């Protein structure tokens, strides 16, 4: 029986509330202080921003794209993995994405105050897990070009590695490549450590019967 994506729905609802807070809050310093993550914020003891930032979007296009991808891939993976396991993975990938942004902005871009927000790190992890579990499934690159999921995922990682290098040279776009990579490599680690052994065990049991 297919499970309903309760955690995905909860996450989209929570992100929507935080997005509205960015638009209408009267205390202009509250949201940046509590919903943006940076190396500087962590050194100041605001460790909660590792978590709150992954539910935080202040631009409509960024919010829409992340929620659309979360619904498209996350709903399927929540049904496949189960609510609890998917929720744990999503939060872990998001936390590692936030932490990776803080480290890369300090060590590679030499800008410890550079803030970041968004669910992109967690979503990068979701896309990688989906691609590893279902490598031949088609995904649409930029919503247009159909590619095998595994090829699209590693192209995504390659672009982020290149983007992070460009940012370290003082160029590049204002995109959280470090967060994407942190989430993606968390997905790779969880797949190799936990999901792949279970898939292989299930296949072995099926063959035995």
Among 162, 138, 155, which Cα is nearest to 73's?
138
Q: Is the pLDDT of residue 160 over 80?
A: yes
- Lowest mean per-residue pLDDT among 45-54, 96-105, 110-119, 144-153: 144-153
Question: Span 123-152, mean pLDDT?
Answer: 82
> Which domains can be identified in the chain, with CATH numbers?
6-208 (1.20.1540.10)
SS (H, E, C) 29-68: CHHHHHHCECHHHHHCCCCCHHHHHHHCCCCHHHHHHHHH
What's the predicted TM-score (pTM) here? 0.89
pLDDT at residue number 205: 61
Model pLDDT, residue 96: 97
Q: Mean pLDDT for the chain?
A: 89
**pLDDT for residue 67 is more than 60:** yes
The C-alpha atoms of residue 71 and residue 208 are separated, in whole angstroms, by 36
Residue 201 has pLDDT above 60, yes or no: yes
Q: Is the pLDDT of residue 199 over 70?
A: yes
């Amino acid at each position: 029986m297919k499970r309903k994506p309760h955690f995905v729905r909860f996450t989209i609802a929570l992100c929507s509330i935080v997005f509205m807070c960015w638009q209408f809050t009267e205390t202009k310093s509250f949201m940046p202080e509590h919903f943006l993550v940076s190396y500087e914020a962590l050194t100041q003891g605001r460790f909660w921003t590792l978590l709150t930032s992954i539910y935080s979007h202040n631009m409509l296009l960024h919010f829409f794209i992340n929620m659309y991808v979360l619904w498209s891939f996350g709903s399927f993976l929540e049904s496949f993995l189960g609510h609890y396991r998917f929720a744990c993975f999503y939060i872990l990938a998001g936390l590692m994405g936030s932490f990776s942004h803080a480290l890369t902005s300090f060590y590679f871009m030499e800008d410890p105050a550079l803030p970041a927000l968004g669910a992109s790190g967690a979503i990068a992890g979701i896309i990688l897990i989906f691609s590893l579990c279902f490598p031949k499934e088609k995904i649409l690159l930029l919503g247009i070009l159909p590619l095998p999921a595994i090829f699209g995922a590693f192209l995504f990682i390659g672009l982020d590695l290149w983007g992070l290098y460009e940012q370290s040279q003082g160029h590049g776009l204002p995109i959280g490549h470090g967060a994407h990579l942190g989430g993606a490599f968390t997905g790779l680690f969880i797949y190799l450590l936990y999901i792949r052994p279970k898939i292989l065990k299930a296949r072995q049991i099926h063959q035995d019967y």
